[in-house]
Chain A
Amino acid sequence: MIRVVLPPHLRTLARVDGEVELDVAAPVTQRSLLDALETRYPMLRGTMRDHVTQLRRPLVRFFACGEDVSHELPDAPLPGAISKGSEPFLVIGAIAGG
């Protein structure tokens, strides 16, 4: 199972506590992971990616295995540790403002 950690506001919106577990077919990519996440929790649609363009919202970042993968291509395979579920995929609200 793929493990996803959502930021607190999106956990509240999706009404989940802790990590989310998803069943995603290989190869696991940002796009396939986010598609599965939004299918399970439709209230998250539009909060991480634009409804129409599917581009990541500017102040949302994605991390995998300690690396910022926000700018990776959406169809690029994610690290094996994410696919195996040994590491979580992190959705982060960027630290911005003052």
Chain B
Amino acid sequence: MSNIRVLVGTRKGAFILTSDGARKRWKVSGPHFAGWEIYHLKGSPVNPDRIYASQTSGWFGQIIQRSDDGGKTWNTPGSSPEELKSPDGMSKGESNKFVYDGIPGTHQWYDGTQHPWEFKRVWHLEPSLHDPEHVYAGVEDAALFESRDGGKSWNELSGLRKHDTGPKWQPGAGGMCLHTILLDPQDRRRMFVAISAAGTFRTDDGGKTWKPINHGLHSQYMPDPNAEVGHCVHRIAMHPSRPTTLFMQKHWDVMRSDNAGDSWSEVSDNLPSDFGFPVDVHAHEPETIYVVPIKSDSEHYPPKGRLRVYRSRTGGNEWEALTKGLPQRNCYVNVLRDAMSVDSLDPCGVYFGTTGGQVYASANAGDNWKPIVRDLPWVLSVEVQTLP
């Protein structure tokens, strides 16, 4: 029988939740890296026991952690004695060294002035689909880095940040973060990223050059609501069998594209609010998608205090509220952009974490929910591994 491992990043450490395939009884381990913000953890699809974690602190900066035994033990990559010496004999310790390529330049600040690009933290780690040593990092201020040595050292794929539109990118309320990285399973040279608040970008040449793919997005709060960049994209998702179909939760509006992002159309329709953060796709049904509507950008909690996941089995527009097992009164938590994930069992499991510290799971594609754990710190991210 398969096993499930849920990787939870919180504001005060990481937690690992495990169960067999029945998904009824869960074991909770942690906190790992207690007291640190863990923005994201994700396992390699090639070697699931290889897990990367982004550990960060306003005091001590960025740390990258790596486990090679499924989260039992952790190390900063490259910390064995023989790995720590550079040719001149000095210590390396560069697993947390994220340096922009060349002169970083400036981007737009909140007040419209130009502001220097400054590295702050890693928001998202995306291990390669093909090589456990290869991993991408989406960072704040927005840029894409990669490591090809298991996280020991990092280089920027600077074609993205140096795009002509870079000086027009601006931070959202949470900072100017590159928070989503989608790798095309059918084309090694194609990937998608999303940045708040710049929008969505695609490369077709392995990261050398990038194209803004925001046509069809409409953001009323911008001077030009249909601008090429500047949209506050909260999350994008794809099903691996259909990498040209993308789903997006924008600041407002749920969108879809059927041409790899070249154009987008709105599919919010009967949602009670089209503001929210996560969007995800069922593991076996490419047209079944999930969002968590949030009342508004000024009131980051569910409408009417009722926590509801909304599911569409038609790729958008026709949404049903999933309520069974979720609090339907006095609930004022939020669900952040990286805090929803699915397993690949049948029926598909769906998981999400809240700012109230609950991690909810459904073992039947969203029909019924139960909290796996309910008093963790503010949940920043949830990733799920389906293990043989």
Contacts and interface: CB of A to CB of B under 8 A. Distances in A.
A binds B: yes
A87 interface: no
Interface residues of A, number: 23
Contacts of A47: 60-61, 63, 96
Interface stretch (B85-93, B170-178, B313-321): B85-93
Interface in B22-56: 34-36
Given A9-B36, A51-B99, A52-B99, A42 B93 contact: yes
Interface residues of B, number: 22
Contacts of A12: 34
A7 B90 CA distance: 25
**Which of B58, B92, B93: most chain A Cβ within 10 A?**
B93
A52 B94 CA distance: 11
Contact of A93 (B34, B59, B90, B92): B59
Given A9-B35, A9-B36, A52-B99, A38 B93 contact: yes
A43 interface: yes
A8 B57 CA distance: 13
A60 B92 CA distance: 22
Contacts of B93: 38, 42-46
B288 interface: no
A46 B93 CA distance: 9
B324 to A, nearest CB: 39
Interface string B322-366: 000000000000000000000000000000000000000000000
B92 A42 contact: yes
B200 interface: no
A59 B58 contact: yes
Contact of B96 (A10, A46, A52, A94): A46
A25 interface: no
A66 to B, nearest CB: 22
**Which of B35, B36, B59, B79: most chain A Cβ within 10 A?**
B59
Given A13-B76, A52-B99, 5 more contacts: A10-B60, A12-B34, A94-B59, A96-B58, A96-B59
What 7 A-B pairs are tightest by C-beta distance, nearest first?
A42-B93, A45-B93, A47-B60, A42-B91, A59-B59, A43-B76, A93-B59
